[in-house]
Amino acid sequence: MDISADSPHPTLASLIPDIDRLAAEALAVWKVPGAALAIVQDGRVALTRSYGQRDVEADLPVTPRTQFVICSITKSFTATAVALLHNEGLLDWGKPVRDYLPEFRLHDAIATERVTIRDLLTHQTGLPRHDWLHLPGDLAPAQMLPLMRHLELSRDIRTSWQYNNLCYNAAGLLIERLSGKSFEAFVRERLTDRLGMTVGFSLDELEAEADAARPYMIHVDTRLPGLRLPIHVTAAGAINTSATDLASWMRLHLGKGEFEGERLLPAAIVEQLHAPLAHVGKSEFPEFGHGHYALGFQSNTYRGDRLLWHGGGWNGWGSLMTLVPDAGIGIAVLTNRSPSAVPQILTWYIADRLRGREPVDWFARFHRIRDEFIAHIPADKDAREEARHKDTQPAHPLSAYAADYAHPAYGVMSIRVQDGALHWAWRGMSAPLAHRHFETFVTPEVVDRLLPDNLPITFHTDREGNIVHLSAPLEPMVKDIVFERRAAGDCTDPAFRARCTGHFRSGGVNHHVSLDADGRLILKPDFQPAYRLEPQQGRRFQIVELDGFAVEFRGDDGKIDQIVFHQPNGIFVADRVVEQK
């Protein structure tokens, strides 16, 4: 345990034994290795405390200056950075994003033109999380922006609040565009350096620190080392800092833009940052009012007090920063295990005591919720098994599913046959698939590496039984994400396509097949326009201009002597016309 602060407020000093006792109990029950706490009161750092281990294996203690990943508390920094640009007239956060970032696109054309910077910061674009776009960690922030146009929206603009890390990623790119500096450099120069904060923006920077925490996670009720998962939506959640340093950030916002006698932002702009804008919902706990989202902050009331707060969660990291602005109180709790209720238990207990109230027994409430959750895990597993239709078989031999399947935003899923089973690979992740039922297979539950556990993958066929795409529920708020089967086989071979050219006849209709300058087949029937043939599978091509129409070229000994037309109204054949010499 480490204590630091300049002579705590007498009331706060008397609470230290109770805070220490509660912290020890909560860390033990939730198996959290370590935690750091900072309390701001009356414009100064009133108390910092640290508990447990920042590194269990090396038996290293947490200190108030131990660096943690604060995850989505980062959003308050991003919104404040945008506020600086707004205050300087470099942007108007009430105007459309595309006024400043023309390449910004959403799946809906109207939303694309109407979404404002304020909509990005309040999660009101209509775009749900789509977190599996960035979770694999293989894309840079700038690479994600053009992919957003391919992500389905689940709501109309400004009709509901939907938390979205990709929109904060876009806000970070906007800061770079307008400032001419990297997001990291701008935040450091204009905010954290002026507050004397030590911050980092990556796991590499965190791990280079002498006093850095290691992450841990929980599986059922067993604590394990956390996964090393870089956060590449930097402006949404990548900042590393300490409880001591975060106290300076809380002082800035409690001081309405002023810190140590220096004004970083006008009070009126800070007021706008803190104003509730988007309705989030009503808490299940009666002590809280209706929650709203401000600009990079959550807003609520707790037992009559107005709160501004933001939490942060990632594999191995859990944090909570809470301001009670009308009382001049700020509380930050950083932990190296996620998920857990430790940040909430400590924060709300301290808030109750500092406000002179009999504290709610949050420890007992969350303990009961935790126990019920753990006890219910077997029932959930049984329910998944009961929902499976047993004694069913795949409709095709396993080799028929083997292919690459692509989505314009989510990338390529590869299905192969290995050791008599289907094997799945996607963006650096891989696993064997188990047959669930019918045409649906499922990924396994894997603890020690990133994987979408128990993800059902369903294969779909056309009317003739050809497997044409697969789908997976990677974003639960929209329809399953569809990955189209990539072309493979003879149809992708330029030499084969060259053999398909010529003159074919079906009844009295002539069909002329030729190659364009790009080596693509063109089909020209009598009395119809020319159609482009897109490679599909084997010797089969889809007709680009006619949905549901395909052609297949047949022949032996390297010769193509027949076209088979697969159409909604039937199957038709055209034979090659042999030219007379």
Per-residue pLDDT reduced to its tens digit, 350-373: 999 999 999 999 999 999 999 999
Contact between 136 and 231 (Cβ < 8 Å): no
C-alpha span between 74 and 164 (Å, rounded): 13
490-576 and 398-485 share a CATH fold: yes
Entry pTM: 0.94
When the pLDDT of each residue in the chain is averaged and rounded to a whole number, the result is 96
The pLDDT value given to residue 580: 61
C-alpha span between 240 and 201 (Å, rounded): 6
Residue 294: pLDDT over 70: yes
C-alpha span between 529 and 544 (Å, rounded): 12
Q: How many CB atoms lie within 10 A of CB 282?
A: 12
- Tokens 């108390």, residue located: 47
Per-residue pLDDT reduced to its tens digit, 202-236: 999 999 999 999 999 999 999 999 999 999 999 99
C-alpha span between 458 and 560 (Å, rounded): 35
| Neighbouring residues of 563: CB distance < 8 A, sequence distance ≥ 6 | 504, 506, 511, 513, 551, 552, 553, 554, 573, 574
Closest-CA residue to 302 (of 284, 283, 285, 289): 289
The pLDDT value given to residue 2: 47
Q: Give the amino acid at 563.
A: I
Per-residue pLDDT reduced to its tens digit, 541-552: 999 999 999 999
Q: Where are the domains of the chain?
A: 62-330, 398-485, 490-576
| End-to-end CA gap in the chain | 97
Burial of residue 17 (number of CB atoms within 10 Å: 0-12, 13-18, 19+): exposed
Per-residue pLDDT reduced to its tens digit, 376-388: 999 999 999 999 9
Average pLDDT over residues 285-296: 98
Average pLDDT over residues 466-495: 97
Token couple for 278: 């988007």
Per-residue pLDDT reduced to its tens digit, 145-200: 999 999 999 999 999 999 999 999 999 999 999 999 999 999 999 999 999 999 99
C-alpha span between 417 and 403 (Å, rounded): 10
Q: Which CATH number fits domain 398-485: 3.40.50.970, 3.90.470.10, 3.90.550.10, 2.40.128.50?
A: 2.40.128.50
Closest-CA residue to 426 (of 156, 133, 207): 133
Contact between 398 and 416 (Cβ < 8 Å): no
**CATH code linked to domain 490-576:** 2.40.128.50
Contact between 319 and 311 (Cβ < 8 Å): yes
Q: What percent of the chain has pLDDT over 90?
A: 96
| Neighbouring residues of 581: CB distance < 8 A, sequence distance ≥ 6 | none
Question: pLDDT grade, residue 1 (50/70/90)?
Answer: very low
| Neighbouring residues of 339: CB distance < 8 A, sequence distance ≥ 6 | 218, 313, 318
Residue 10: pLDDT over 60: no
**CATH code linked to domain 62-330:** 3.40.710.10
Question: pLDDT grade, residue 8 (50/70/90)?
Answer: low
Question: pLDDT grade, residue 557 (50/70/90)?
Answer: confident
C-alpha span between 180 and 124 (Å, rounded): 27
Residue 3: pLDDT over 60: no
- Name the more confident of 578 and 255: 255
Burial of residue 579 (number of CB atoms within 10 Å: 0-12, 13-18, 19+): exposed
C-alpha span between 536 and 391 (Å, rounded): 32
Per-residue pLDDT reduced to its tens digit, 420-471: 999 999 999 999 999 999 999 999 999 999 999 999 999 999 989 999 999 9
CA 294 distance to own-chain centroid: 20
Residue 50: pLDDT over 50: yes
Token couple for 350: 């301290």
Strands (E), 419-476: 421-426, 429-432, 434-437, 440-442, 456-461, 467-472
C-alpha span between 221 and 217 (Å, rounded): 10
Average pLDDT over residues 9-33: 92
Give buried/exposed letters for 230-267 (b at 16+ CB in 10 A, else e).
ebbbbbbbbbbbbbbbbbbbbbbbbbbbbbeeeebbee
User: Phi then psi for 375, rounded to 5 degrees?
Assistant: -65, -25
C-alpha span between 73 and 249 (Å, rounded): 11
The pLDDT value given to residue 579: 73
Per-residue pLDDT reduced to its tens digit, 227-265: 999 999 999 999 999 999 999 999 999 999 999 999 999
